[in-house]
Structure 1
Amino acid sequence: MLYFLTGSTQARCGGAIRQALLLTCLATALLWQGTTMALEDTLTNAQRQLETNQPDAAYQRLRQLDQEHAGTVEYDYWLGVSALRAGHLSDAMLALQRVLFNQPRHAGARLELVATHLRLGQIDAASRELARLEALDAPPDAEVAMRRYRDAIEAHQRREHGPRHRARLTLESGYDSNAQRFPGQFFIDPNQLIPEALRPLVEEIELIELSRQGSLFQQLGARYQGHYPITDHQRIELDTALQSRHYLEDEAQPYNLSALQGQLGWRHALSAERSWRFTLQTLKAWHDTDFSSLLMRWGIGAEYRHPVGEDSRLRWHAQWRDNRFDQAPRHDHDSGRLGVELHMPQAGWALRARALVEREWTRADGAAARDGGDLNHYLVGLGADIPVGARQQWRLDLDHRWREYRDEGFAIYNEFEPAVRRDGSWEASVEWLYQLGSSWLLQASAHYEKRDSNIAFFDMHRHQARLGINYLF
């Protein structure tokens, strides 16, 4: 009897388990069906928003479902399309690549990927994807877009391989709070240079007072850039610029500065996104109201540009310069620098990062050498480019510099005690650009600099504001 009761109990338990499993499967199927229907409704709404020119709304809604549906081909495709239309190029690239990972022959995703590469300026990648798309026997309704993209790629290649000329005239007015880069006020006592035993025999010299002088200024500039092709992958690049700043206050006018500089370069393109460039550089500077000769500089440089990841670009550059000061030969020096710049597009804006290492070697020795002798200079910085609509852009920059001289000096500025000078400075700037038309560009900027030094005389802060108009040729 016990056996039959036990068997009956087992039968009832087995039936209960089967019913539970059946209910679980049914609930899962209903849940999956509900989720699928909800996704289909969301995708349908997103397509309507794209058709009514609301790409950002479609992108924001689809992005909320990324954790649940990433890897689903239809979801990834429409997420990529909406991200591209809304200007979120990195997200568009990622979503479209997920589609092609699952379905390599998805013509629509590959077509949108071509457009994404073009928006990022990745011409080689766009050309490769377009060639793959053409090999897929894409549907006829894609032919129009494919021809348009092919024309855009060929137009870019013609621009790169043909001569190009750009010129700009700039007129600016502004204010400089510290044209001399002096501290607020500083006194130097020349009598301390006289040996103590001789001071009773020498007439006392008055204290020298130094103070910073703010002044309005006007600035005129001109620049020309030309590209001259040699072959399909090589070209000559010419860059010349003239700039002259004139201060209105008498005390600041000795710091008027004019400069003429030129650069002749040879660029070899390894691809549309990778290139080498070698340059010869020169600069001539004048100062004061009589345009006294200040500086003559010669230099050579090299740079290498290449992509990083999907949409970032890296630029390495190195320079060697010979600097000769016409009225102060003790400041003559050679300098070498190595720097790197990274450009990283984000969703609707771009981030820039940079670093620089520089060394200056003084030419003179002993008493004839400049104070402090050789100099080490380091810089790190961040910047951002933020477009606002089709005509405006903001540029933000923040830099930190370190300068360290190798020898003792600067006694006259340090209570006549020589010291190894070390400076640290912060520089921040903001610039606003507004395109008035095809030939006119309005710009306004503000700049702040604060320098701290172990020698108090060189502590300094300075701010500038400028408003300018550019005519573009």
Structure 2
Amino acid sequence: MMCKIWVTRFLPAMAALLAGVAGLPAAAQQQSPEAAAAAYAALAPQEAARAGDPEFDYALGIAALDSGNYGAAIIALQRVLAVQPTNAAARAELARAYALAGDIDTARREFATVVDDPSLPDPVRQRFTGFVRQFDRQIAGGGSDVSGFLDARAGHDDNINAATDLTQITIPLFSFLGPGQLGPGARAQKDEFYELTGGVSGVTAVSRQDRLFASVLGSWRDNFDTSAFDTASLTGTAGFAHSFANRDVLSLSGQVQRFWLDGDGYRNSYGAVAQYTNVLSQGRAITVSAQYNRLDFDNQPLLDADRFAVALGYVTRNLSATLSAGKEETRRQAGDAYSNWFANASLGGEYPLTERLAVQGGIAFDMRRYDAADVLFLVKRHDERVDAQIGLKLALTDSLFFQPRASFTRNWSNIALYDYDRFTVSAGVRLEF
């Protein structure tokens, strides 16, 4: 009989406990929230007169706990244990109340006491011992985790070099010569392509509130008919994150990147990022970040620059929005025409259509204002660009997805050489692990 009581009451209760603590789906509790709220409303007015009666305090504690009144539940259940210190059922409920209230340390101690109770049936003892181990893991910071992805896709790009579709252009500095013919590399080129992208990231806890993290991300894009605009990149990131008592997170990280064009080294980038995340309810968060990067271009010293940026972001379970701005300053005065102020706004999201199908999309706006006049066109360059993307994500298995996608870019510039549009379509598969 005792085993049946423990199983029917406490195993669902502990599943609910872990749902509140570890984000797992909750099993059905013995009382529905509505029934618990009604029971608590009926019992709470009697507390002044009946407090100290273990049966009343236990019933009040259960009703308070199941209706979300964790503080009242803790007080009522503590009164039960003051009179009946060997009441394992009341102690298990008290542990659940502490856990749902966020006090994992006290919850773990109360559970350990319950596990040592000789009246506890073995099947229940084994489950409770597992819960204690999970609390130990949380107290230690969550342990370590490794995840990653691999994305392979192919498609068509009508402007692989992000260039104008004009064939002739007049350069003000040489206007007396009339319009000049643009070479193939300066005109929009279309081609089919395939692209491989993959990454691995890991995190390990060094204490309850502190974690170390690192990731490596690589990409390779090959155009079928020409290699002049084939690209590849490799990015490494490593850092430290601290979680505060209110669940907010401060992270500091360093980042290095190598970028290749047509198989040859093109640019190195290395820098640092500081980010503060304010965690809100219902899967939402606000982020504030500051970033510095040093850009070193192979054999193009006039492009070498320091880049500073700040950003504000808002994320939900299905949506992310970001505002950012900053300055890219060339390190040589002769390169001032490439120095610029920039601002960016982006919005993206993923919305499920069915259990296995979701639509993905995003739009971004980028604005740049350059510091000095272009040496050939004799004006300060200013650009505005819009990027839009839409696609589907179809789950073939729990970790394998089919993703068709289309994207469009339009860049407006006061210098005709940099005024262009671009359209791509592609399809691929993504493996997540």
TM over 0.5: yes
In the TM superposition, 1:146-161 aligns within 5 A as: 154=135, 157=138, 161=142
Could you tell me how far 1:206 is from its partner in structure 2?
Answer: 6.9
Aligned to 2:355: 390
Distance in 1, Cα, partners of 2:243 & 2:315: 19
Is 2:164 aligned against 1:183?
Answer: yes
Distance in 2, Cα, partners of 1:351 & 1:205: 47
In the TM superposition, 1:209-224 aligns within 5 A as: 209=183, 210-224=186-200
Which stretches in structure 2 are left out of the alignment for 5+ residues? 1-32, 39-61, 71-97, 111-123
- Aligned match for 1:404, one of 362, 369, 372: 369
Conserved 8 A contact 1:293-1:327: no
Q: Which amino acid aligns with 1:269?
A: S
Aligned to 1:36: none
Distance in 2, Cα, partners of 1:159 & 1:434: 37
Distance in 1, Cα, partners of 2:99 & 2:392: 32
Could you tell me how far 1:466 is from its partner in structure 2?
Answer: 2.0
**CA 1:176–1:151: 2 relative to 1, 3 Å:** farther
After superposition, the C-alpha distances for 1:153-173 in whole angstroms (9 at most, x for unaligned) are: 849838962111113222111
After superposition, the C-alpha distances for 1:47-82 in whole angstroms (9 at most, x for unaligned) are: xxxxxxxxxxxxxxxxxxxxxxxxxx969979xxxx
Conserved 8 A contact 2:272-2:291: yes
In the TM superposition, 1:17-166 aligns within 5 A as: 106-110=64-68, 127-128=100-101, 154=135, 157=138, 161-166=142-147
Could you tell me how far 1:249 is from its partner in structure 2?
Answer: 2.2
- Aligned match for 1:426, one of 372, 382, 386: 386
% identity of equivalent residues: 18
**CA 1:258–1:390: 2 relative to 1, 3 Å:** same
Conserved 8 A contact 1:188-1:207: yes
Conserved 8 A contact 2:383-2:414: yes
The alignment yields a C-alpha RMSD, in angstroms, of: 3.6
Aligned to 2:258: 284
Conserved 8 A contact 1:432-1:445: yes
Could you tell me how far 1:389 is from its partner in structure 2?
Answer: 3.5
In the TM superposition, 1:136-285 aligns within 5 A as: 154=135, 157=138, 161-188=142-169, 207-209=181-183, 210-250=186-226, 253-271=227-245, 273-285=247-259
Which stretches in structure 1 are left out of the alignment for 5+ residues? 1-72, 79-103, 113-124, 136-142, 412-416
**CA 1:320–1:153: 2 relative to 1, 3 Å:** same
Match of 1:383, SS? strand
Match of 2:68, SS? helix
**CA 1:410–1:447: 2 relative to 1, 3 Å:** farther
In the TM superposition, 1:333-372 aligns within 5 A as: 333-345=305-317, 350-366=318-334, 369=335, 372=337
After superposition, the C-alpha distances for 1:134-168 in whole angstroms (9 at most, x for unaligned) are: 99xxxxxxx9xxx8xx7998498389621111132
Distance in 2, Cα, partners of 1:186 & 1:126: 69
Distance in 2, Cα, partners of 1:293 & 1:380: 30
Distance in 2, Cα, partners of 1:307 & 1:456: 45
Give the number of aligned pairs.
331
Distance in 1, Cα, partners of 2:298 & 2:359: 39
- The structure number with the bigger radius of gyration is 1
Distance in 1, Cα, partners of 2:65 & 2:145: 36
Could you tell me how far 1:312 is from its partner in structure 2?
Answer: 2.3
